[in-house]
Structure 1
């Protein structure tokens, strides 16, 4: 079956990790009352039979995980990265595993998932770990780039769907490695200014989500460990992909790639 319009798409390769990611996607489809489409990109016509078996197995696991979610399945020929990027263009959300274990076509090895997440035009979730955390907040990274609204909106929707708190983290650092450290008073003043900016930035959105608990913090640290630490018990960490720099240069691609490799929870990269 071809990809339904506006469905959540789970890219699989037959590995255990990719099936776990697809089951996470099924839960997300249930939260948002939408369809799930399980997709395998086959780059070897000699393995068409195995591809069909692998995608049917993944779809069955998703139906078991979320019986009320409509699930379709498809095998497409092509290069995994390019095929997944084309699927993402028509998807509500693309979900991938963080690392395959051989599986059918090695389609979701970490390098492929990272490349898709950082090249996609919309939102991609890379699922890390075996089980989604519960009880912690959805975490979103802040900066002052024009595109941050997309990441904030995605994170607020995710927190509202889960009925959990949103934690917005603004990481900042002092000027270059060779520059002298700020005097304590100036450092405190800068911290306060950035924290106030983060609160204001978040407040502009939270009034659209009545009843949602949300808070913002500023952290003097490199953005990758700051976000990874903040999301230690989070069900989802949300980052933008490209920003203009601002306080911390937070959303340069290297930071998105860093959290993809080090976070212990699913990571959403939002263009």
Structure 2
């Protein structure tokens, strides 16, 4: 049944994990990741295929039903609903993000709806959604850490909070990564300190940014990394064997001038694990 937008839809998806699916194995993987996360959050999952072609309605219904059944077999105690909606995939998922706790999408699509959840759609959802967005790519390690990019921007602060919470839910450690050059190299009239002093200052600054969250999440073990290379390369390298990589929607400081089209966009295309993009309120 095609469900139109309205109050009933908003009530059903409010505070749920909304998953965009398209019948591909990538979207099925995203749905499985989402059901595991929803179990940790103790919220329901709502699977949605966004169909813009009436001729494919039958395929759309079967695709979402098949994925829903697979997820239910794995998580029989979780509330899982499914729907075929009409509209543009990215626009509809962004609309759903206004009432969802989290939106989850795959990184590519190869099913009946191969034009629905390709990388461009996933990136567009991550760029415009009002809720956190997780793009599921690679294989999430069963017991690895959570990795977060830190740069002292408002977006980074929100991402760090999300990352601590995610690590706490998983009973795992956190790797906090700060790229060094933009944050700590400045041109001035005084000679630059030696490399070790810069490293020490950067590590101290990173520790200061994390101290409050460490106090709030005493069970999360934190490892700090300060790197003198591009943020995308630094984050992707740190994320090998990670369960999740978390970045802010926008950044400055260590990620100066780099918006979703660079750092967040870069890790969305190159990270070896699922990526969470976190937007600040009003951002």
Q: Give the TM-score, by structure 1 length.
A: 0.92
Q: Does 1:69 align with 2:78?
A: yes
Secondary structure at the aligned position of 2:224 is classed as strand
Q: Map 1:29-178; keep pairs closer than 5 Å.
A: 29-104=38-113, 106-129=115-138, 131-173=139-181
Q: Does 1:192 align with 2:200?
A: yes
Aligned partners of 1:231 and 1:237 also within 8 Å: yes
CA RMSD of aligned residues (A): 1.9
Q: Does 1:15 align with 2:51?
A: no
Assess, with a 3 A threshold, how the Cα gap between structure 1 residues 246 and 146 changes in structure 2: closer, same or farther. same
Assess, with a 3 A threshold, how the Cα gap between structure 1 residues 55 and 141 changes in structure 2: closer, same or farther. same
1:229 corresponds to: 237
Length, aligned pairs only: 264
Unaligned runs of 5+ in 2: 4-8
Secondary structure at the aligned position of 1:195 is classed as helix
Shift of 1:188: 2.4
Assess, with a 3 A threshold, how the Cα gap between structure 1 residues 237 and 250 changes in structure 2: closer, same or farther. farther
Distance of 2:255 and 2:201 partners within structure 1: 14
Unaligned runs of 5+ in 1: none
Q: Greater CA deviation, 97-106 or 13-22?
A: 97-106
2:6 corresponds to: none
Shift of 1:122: 2.2
Secondary structure at the aligned position of 1:212 is classed as coil
Distance of 2:15 and 2:273 partners within structure 1: 25
Deviations along 1:61-116, whole A, 9 cap, x unmatched? 11122122100001110001101100111110000001111433521101110111
Q: Does 1:252 align with 2:259?
A: yes
Assess, with a 3 A threshold, how the Cα gap between structure 1 residues 84 and 35 changes in structure 2: closer, same or farther. same
Secondary structure at the aligned position of 1:247 is classed as helix
Secondary structure at the aligned position of 1:147 is classed as helix
Deviations along 1:30-83, whole A, 9 cap, x unmatched? 111110000111111121121111111111111122122100001110001101
2:34 corresponds to: 25
